Structure 1
Amino acid sequence: MKSLSARWTAIAVAITLTGSALAQGHDAGHGAHGEQPSHHGAMDMHAMMKKNDEAMAAMPSTGDVDVDFAMMMKVHHQGAIDMAQHQLRHGKDATMKAMAREIIAAQKKEIAAFDAFLAGRGHGTKK
């Protein structure tokens, strides 16, 4: 599954770069003078990313790097699920829809692993 791992890395980098550009007020390649993308789906994706980034930034640190990592990764993975579900609802490309289904399945498994870890550390399973 090395190619799937490489795709995940590429997706994570793209999401991070886009989110960083948005946070800095750049147009992230959507045209000059702050033009908005013509497709509502793109704006929905950006809103999802912004909400996800804000949720992670607002999380208080527990002082335990492992717990903080698990808690923030849960939020990050849920954001990936939300975006993938949006892709399934509004996307048209069969390859992207298949990738969205793979992402949902994989991220749910990883969230379950984070939940188990956090429960073992006395941090429950808040979502």
Structure 2
Amino acid sequence: MELDVHTMNQHPQLIYRRFDCTIYNFPHAGYLRGSFSSESDKSQILAHKNLVKGYFMSAHQMLCSRGQIHVTHKTKFPFTEWEIVNLAKVAGLYLVEEETFYPWQYPGYVNKRGAGNCDESFRLGMSSTFKFAKY
């Protein structure tokens, strides 16, 4: 099933479902300029922010009343420029907890790229899982 995070709450298989938790590990909007892209480029950061904001807005509609939205994200520059917590606020969510992400705590977890050679993993670096709930 293919999903667009901006409209996933309207997908025919999901429209009437409510979830206790939705999870988006390492969201990424892709590279706007291919191999010439830089994660610190302002337009690249804006594309990422639009992706995450769209996810928050749509996922908010899919939560049960006490549900949570989890986003695992890198916590060093330039990824801090995405301002994940502020994007969540715009969508009517508040930060419940930020927990350091350690992949070894999730047996079998392997991160994969979403573009190019999708079977390759990427360097995680310092990352956290941000847990949000509805106001």
Larger CA Rg, structure 1 vs 2: 1
TM-score for both structures, normalised by structure 1 = 0.27
Higher strand share: 2
Higher helix share: 1
Greater length-normalized contact order (CA 8 Å, ≥ 6 residues apart): 2
TM-score for both structures, normalised by structure 2 = 0.26
